[in-house]
Amino acid sequence: MLENSDLKGVVGAAITPFTEDYEVDIEQLKRHCDALLEAGCAYTSVFGTTGEGPSLSVRQKLEALRKLADMGADMSRQIPGVMTSSLDDAVSMYVEAHKLGCRAALIIPPFYYRSAGVEGVADYYEALVKKAGNPGLDIVLYNFPHFSGIPFSVEQVKAVQKRIGSLVVGIKDSTGDLPGGLELIKAFPELSIFTGSDAILRDMVEAGGAGMIGGMTNPFAKDCVQLYLGGVSEGFVKRATMRIETVDGNGGLNVLKALMAKVYGNPAFARTMPPMEPLSSDKLAAIEAALAEAEKAL
């Protein structure tokens, strides 16, 4: 990572609150993004995996981004997710992110035709930028093969760089694989390499990584920021690991949403877009007990 880059720190991958008719509750989304920034996050990222981006239409996401800007959100501290296999939809999101002054766009590769190969994926990014009119907005590549089926190997990143050059400024590596993350840091010292896991955040940062873009920032933003800054105990890191294992082991996203609904006292945060199901109150109680047990790691 370039030392003078501003693209570093903890990026809050915001959950999306929904109204009863499954529209984005934009007022509550702004409230949450503001809270993440106030807790020390350098940026927020809406409509990624944690934000249920693939379950939302382009109409919903564009409307929400525009209204966030109209409501006074600092869009220069926003890195929206572009989560679609449609080139035209990706172009619409990318163009709007540029118009609204977002810091960058977090773009996942097209995830349906998975046999496209290295050059096919590079074709997609090149076509996206060209069709958008080459607006110049920075791009963070999204490495999450668990969902996309397409890994951003060193070869794949280089192929995309060959097509769109310096527009690629970073990679979000959501694999949770430390050796793979370290390989990306070593291969691309000019890029901001983010992990999606606070469990390996310290190791990544100490090796030259840029920080974290992750869902655990929703309930634990201040602790994630402290992990990034360093100077924490072994128990502090162990607690973070226990927390993410508890959350991911019980459903992941619906757990985060249930926790934040309780924090805000607002059911909009617990609602999930079908087919995902909200967490039951009994399961939430058990998870809260497990998280309380993790506190003993300190």
Binding-site residue positions for pyruvate: 50, 213
Per-residue three-class SS string for 146-172? HHHCCCCCHHHHHHHHHHHHHHEEEEE
172, 186, 238, 262: which is the annotated catalytic residue? 172
For 278-285, which contacts have Cβ atoms below 8 Å and span 24 or more sequence positions? 278/254, 279/250, 279/251, 279/254, 279/255, 283/250, 283/251, 284/255, 284/258, 284/259
Residue numbers in the known binding site are: 50, 213
Catalytic: 172?
A: yes
Q: Which of 142, 158, 238, 296 is catalytic?
A: 142
The question of whether 22 is a catalytic residue gets the answer no
Give the active site residues: 142, 172
